[in-house]
Chain A
């Protein structure tokens, strides 16, 4: 069945990097784009970017340009997101989500991964 299963919670120090993974199953990835969205405590949803698994092209939100890298591992159907130079305001729940390539509704979400940045 359709699943987006994310890796576990992380605690990082300021300046470090974090890698969050999202293992997918139950759908044909070539018909979808995969997105990352984050949510700081008590705040709304913030779009980070997307990757087209068919080819690996990416688009990043301006707030994350130069600090984020999204990759797709076809052999394991796993999406990865690396965020570098972490700051305390990067503390958030990070979600992966898929959207059909014929539209842009995020129609299924992972369960979320809490990343805490603290010295």
Chain B
């Protein structure tokens, strides 16, 4: 089955840039989606199809995907961005949704 491996926890100061990676075999050939989950809340989609943003998501959230790594970039980090972030793909071989293990972003 397809496996997604996310980067370790990240800590950044407000106003800085956070980057969270998601690795998978030839992930660049798949569409990668990113979800933000704050404590005690349901996940929220923040980036879909590698780099598109749903309505209402700030432009500070962006994504890229190439080769074996997809990256979520959060610019000008704010305290409210502190959350767990999960990457997600559709594995067309198994017809399954696959999630990465999650990365915790801490805002210092």
Which residues on A are within 8 Å of B, measured CB to CB? 35, 37, 44-47, 50, 59, 61-62, 95, 97, 99, 103-112
Contact = CB atoms under 8 A, between A and B. Distances in A.
A109 B88 CA distance: 14
15 contacts: A35-B97, A37-B99, A45-B37, A45-B43, A47-B99, A95-B42, A103-B31, A105-B48, A105-B49, A106-B33, A106-B88, A108-B45, A109-B42, A110-B42, A111-B42
B68 to A, nearest CB: 20
Given A37-B99, A106-B33, 20 more contacts: A35-B97, A37-B97, A44-B99, A45-B43, A45-B86, A45-B102, A46-B99, A47-B96, A47-B98, A47-B99, A103-B49, A104-B31, A104-B89, A105-B31, A105-B88, A106-B35, A106-B88, A107-B45, A108-B45, A109-B43
4 tightest A-B CB contacts, nearest first: A104-B90, A105-B48, A105-B33, A47-B97
A109 B1 CA distance: 25
B42 A45 contact: no
Interface in B75-97: 84, 86, 88-90, 95-97
Interface string B52-89: 00100000000000000000000000000000101011
Contacts of B42: 95, 109-112
B80 to A, nearest CB: 18
Tell me the interface secondary structure of chain B in the complex. strand
Interface residues of B, number: 25
Given A110-B42, A111-B42, A44 B96 contact: no
